Each structure stands twice: as C-alpha cells, then as structure tokens.
A and B are shown apart, each in its own frame.
Chain A
Amino acid sequence: MEDLTFDFIIARYNYWLVITLMMTGFYVVVSRGNLIKKIVGLNLFQTSVFMLYISAGKIIGGTAPIFTDNPDEVYSNPLPHVLILTAIVVGVATTALGLALIIRIKETFGSIEEDELLKIEHDYDTTGKMPTAEGRP
C-alpha cells in the first residue's frame, strides 16, 4: 500500500465520500424497522452508487460529452452517463412499486413497522388467525 500522501488522498477522497454516503444508506436499510424509511435508505444507497459510476467516468480537464467546435476538446467518458441515466428512471419505477406494496401491506395488516409485521406473522403461524387491521377499508 502506498503512503497516505496528500496526492494519494486527493486522488481517492471522492470515492471515500461516496462510500460514506453509501454506508449511511445501508445503515438506514438494515437498522430501521419502518418500511418507508427502508425505501428512503435504498434510495440513498442507489444515488451513491450512481455517484460512484459517474466519478469513474470523469476526466479532470475534460468537459461534458456534447460535441463542441474545438477538435482538441477532451470529453468525459459518456458510457457511465448512459447507463446511469436509464438506471435513475428504472430506479424511480421500482421505488413506486415498493411504495405501492407498502400501501397494500398497511391496508392488509394495519402496520408498516417490521417488528409488528413479524409479530402478526408469528401469531398467524401459531394461531392460524389473521388479525383484523384497523386500516382495512
């Protein structure tokens, strides 16, 4: 491993900050019991992954990949941009699907807290009875 010189840190700090953000999202997903909070945590994680990809495509001194009149222009790598652009839209579509499932869970079981849902499931396994949800229309 190289020494922790200033140049070494400047060349890597971007990745480290992205990883910190990613782990914050991961922490929300694994530690919080509220399903909406979990979805928000997944969103944080997802956006950090996007940042990692885009960071990899950046060239210092380059410009956005839209052709200019200058033939010597250096362009950042457009390939990660293409991949992430579609991933963002697919991401929101899957988030919507997750939220729709949460709404149905709330309507059926009356709760969106993981602990309470596990308890309901446990009760169902032992007694075979489904609790009547308050939230049911």
Chain B
Amino acid sequence: MSVILIDVALFSFLLLTAFAIVRLRNLFAVTMLTSVFSLLSAGLFVTLDAVDVAFTEAAVGAGISTVLLLGTLSLTPHDEKPATRSPLLPMLVVFITGAALIYGTMDMPAFGSADAPIHQHVGPDYIERYPHDIDMPNIVTGILGSYRGFDTLGETAVVFTAGIAVILLLHRSTLGRRRREDEEEDL
C-alpha cells in the first residue's frame, strides 16, 4: 500500500508539472519545469524497480536536455506568443485519443501481476539463463551488451549519427568560408 501512496504522490507532482508546462508561456520556466519533470520521473522509475533507467533519465533528461534547451533559448525568443487559434479542436483530438487508450487498458493485465503475458516468455527466460551465461550481477547491463548486443550497436550508431547531424547543422566551419573566398577570387 505504501508503494501505491508514493506512486500517487509522484504522479500528482508529475501532473502538476505537466499542467504548468502547458499553461506557462515563459520558455525559461518551461525548461526548468521539464527538468523537474525528468527528475520526478526518475524517482518514479526507482519505485518501479528500473534503477538503470532512473539513473539514465536523471543524467540525460534533467541534465543534458536542460543544457541543450537553455542553449537554444540563448539564440531564440524567450517568450511564446499567445495562441491565436481556439484550443477546442486540439482538446477534442486529445480527449478522443485518451479515451481510446483508457478503453484499451480495460483488457490489460493488472499492474504488477506476475502472470501478465510480458512475464511469460523472453524476460524470465533471460533471468533463468543469465547466471549460467554471464558472470555479472546486473542483468540489465548483461542483456544490453550480450543478448541484445546488435540492438545496442544500432543505438550507438544512432547517437553517433545524430551527433554528426547536429555538427553539420550548427558548426561554423572555416572550410565553407574559405571556399566562398576562393570563388570570389576566381571571379
């Protein structure tokens, strides 16, 4: 029961933060609230036994994302312009989507039950085979590196590609300037 209380408390903080993000138009405040949201969700992940995920969310969501958003804000306007369109249509779309999703949860297995389909096949199989296959206690690291090594190789390549793309978009290279000067000389 105490787990449920902690859960509900964290969720109410998360909801308050999310609603404040919707309402506020000062983007600095929105950035800081996004950081708070990430930190709270990291807390939620700990209560849900996902310590590795919580760690990553705290470092990435609350740390790096905030720095990047602040970096963007130093180059763009700090305030959002007031909305010109009526919020009715978005509201309607959101409510219909939300209602459909909630209707979908009616058939979902109860939260935290050990006999849900997700706990029947791959996951428990990994846990069973793990001590024989790999001699390290952290199952998440083992699955990440070994059983799902191809996945992680792909993800690393995605991070690398995104980094290259950002550098290409934002880097002020001396090469381009030099080439332009050369062209002017040719003329």
Binding site for B on A (CB under 8 A): 1-2, 10-17, 19-28, 30-34, 36-37, 39-41, 43-44, 47, 50-51, 54-68, 74-82, 84-86, 88-97, 99-104, 106-107, 112-113, 115
Contact = CB atoms under 8 A, between A and B. Distances in A.
B162 A96 contact: yes
Contact of A32 (B80, B101, B122, B144): B80
Interface residues of B, number: 91
Interface of B: 3-4, 7-8, 11, 14-15, 18-19, 21-22, 27, 30-31, 34, 37-38, 41, 44-45, 48-53, 56-57, 60-61, 64-65, 68-69, 71-73, 75-77, 80-81, 83-85, 87, 90-91, 93-95, 97-98, 101-102, 105-106, 108, 110-114, 116, 118-119, 122-124, 126-127, 130-131, 137-140, 143-144, 148, 151-152, 155, 158-159, 162-163, 165-166, 169-170
Chain B contact residues, majority secondary structure: helix
A135 B92 CA distance: 36
Chain A contact residues, majority secondary structure: helix
A26 B80 CA distance: 18
Contacts of B81: 33-34, 113, 115
Nearest to A79: B123
Contact of B97 (A23, A94, A102, A104): A23
A77 B72 contact: no
Nearest to A71: B131
User: Which 4 pairs, one residue from A and one from B, show the smallest C-beta to C-beta distance?
Assistant: A11-B110, A60-B112, A93-B162, A31-B90
A26 B97 contact: yes
B140 A92 contact: no
Contacts of B85: 31, 33
